[in-house]
Structure 1
Amino acid sequence: MKITVDEDRCCGAGQCVMTAPDVFDQRDEDGIVVLLDPSPPDDRLVVVRNAEAMCPAAAITVEPG
């Protein structure tokens, strides 16, 4: 899978970090998402898809492959 984040859309809610802390983090200064692993293993697909779905700003995109 391939993950992309749109930092301009991110509102800093942190749902992604709570859902998949090994894939996402937040900047200390403003809470904007930091992508730790743009291509995590396929066994993380469910939690990454959950993070994508829970993002209130729709700032996370997950592509298969």
Structure 2
Amino acid sequence: MAHVEVDFERCEGHGLCEQAAPEIYRLDDDGELELILEDIPQELRTRAEAGARVCPVAAIRITG
């Protein structure tokens, strides 16, 4: 199973990850990133990776 790691200090709340994979990433009302899923089932790995790829500050990493 894959795992999402976020550098919350680096995250600027652009929301591109949420657009790419709303079942995994969500911005709260203050524009702070929340992870809906930290452990990613295999069927969502591609979407999690897409969210990580579009992050303009490279704050998201998928491991495992």
Q: TM-score scaled to structure 2, two decimals? A: 0.90
Superposition misfits of 4+ residues, deviation over 3 angstroms: none
Gaps of 5+ in 1: none
Q: Which amino acid aligns with 2:21?
A: A
Q: Which amino acid aligns with 1:38?
A: E
Q: CA deviation at 1:32?
A: 2.0
Q: How does 1:20-31 map to 2 (within 5 A)?
A: 20-29=21-30, 31=31
- Tell me the residue number matched to 2:13: 12
Higher strand residue share: 2
Q: TM-score scaled to structure 1, two decimals? A: 0.89
SS in structure 1 of the partner of residue 40 of structure 2: coil
Aligned residues between the structures? 63
